[in-house]
Amino acid sequence: MLKNLKGIGLLLIANFLIMITLGVVYVVLANFVLPAFGIDIRGSVDATILLYAGVLGFGGAFISLAFSKQFARAMLDCSQITEPRTRAEEVVFQTVRELAQRLHVKMPEVWVYDAPDPNAFATGPTKNNAMVAVSTGLLENLNEEEIRSVLAHEMGHVWNGDMFTTTVLAGLLNTFVYFISMWVERFFRERDQAILGIVAFYVLQIVLGILAMIVINWHSRRREFEADRFSGKAYGPAPMISALQSIQRYVEAAQMEYATHDALATMKISGGTGGWMNLFATHPPIEERIAALRRMA
């Protein structure tokens, strides 16, 4: 209980420090840097709007992170492994425990959820307050070495603090989306064009939100390569390469069976689909991940 409260407290402190940093950066830019180049925005930016945007942007992101485990469990048909009952559950439980001991972190909660696609994820607010979940499809389609490599990949996310860094990035981008949208809305409202301001507010929310998602997903793809690297260091690159190849075979079989472009698009497990749509993929294409692991080998 105390560790959980400590984790949430650290999140709140980080949120507060980031808001202070944003305020200091704005003061320096508005009062010293920009005037030196003949740009004067003093008085044109309402600090109240910036503060409100920061509360909305970071507040929502950090609340989602703080309750990420609860949200994940609520959305999935899952059961927690505390005493393994099958060989597959034993492999999952012992692998996570072994990796946690190696990393000197509190063992994450271990869950199995009912889904046919081979997938796994890690979430939680801190390294010592995390959960790792695997799908039944992963246990059915991958062998024990491959399962261990996938679990090492997820523990890499935990160890690298990827949930926290992604939340900070999302909060920062959300702040700017809210700030720009509210500033433009106020600009039109002060000129008695309230309706146009409202329209501009929602249009900017959508457009800027899409641009922010591109940045967040780019960061997510980079973190996937780092998690693969962690798995390669833990158990060698070969098992993770084999796991990705097994997942690729499942993807291709599912595509043929259901005649869809990407049968696993909702889970983002197969990475980008090619072209500009790769900008919105949270995972790199499996071929690129395998190539990176082979270079590591």
Q: How many CB atoms lie within 10 A of CB 49?
A: 17
Q: In sequence order, which residues have a C-beta less than 8 Å from that of residue 109 and are 6 or more positions away?
A: 69, 80, 130, 131, 132
Which of 146, 154, 185, 224 is labelled catalytic? 154
User: For residue 160, what are the contacts with CB-CB under 8 A and spacing of at least 6?
Assistant: 223, 226, 227, 230
Tokens of 100: 């946690």
Nearest CA-CA partner of 223 in 289, 125, 144? 289
Residue 270: how many CA atoms within 13 Å on its side-chain side? 20
The DSSP letter of residue 285 is -
Per DSSP, 30 falls in state I
Length of the chain: 297
Tokens for 28? 């320096």
CA distance 270 to 286: 6
Amino acid identity at 156? G
Query: For residue 43, what is the DSSP state?
Result: T
Q: How far, in Å, CA of 17 to CA of 169, rounded? A: 14
Cα separation of 209 and 174, whole Å? 8
Contact 11, 66 (CB under 8 A): yes
Q: Active-site residue 154, yes or no?
A: yes
Catalytic positions: 154
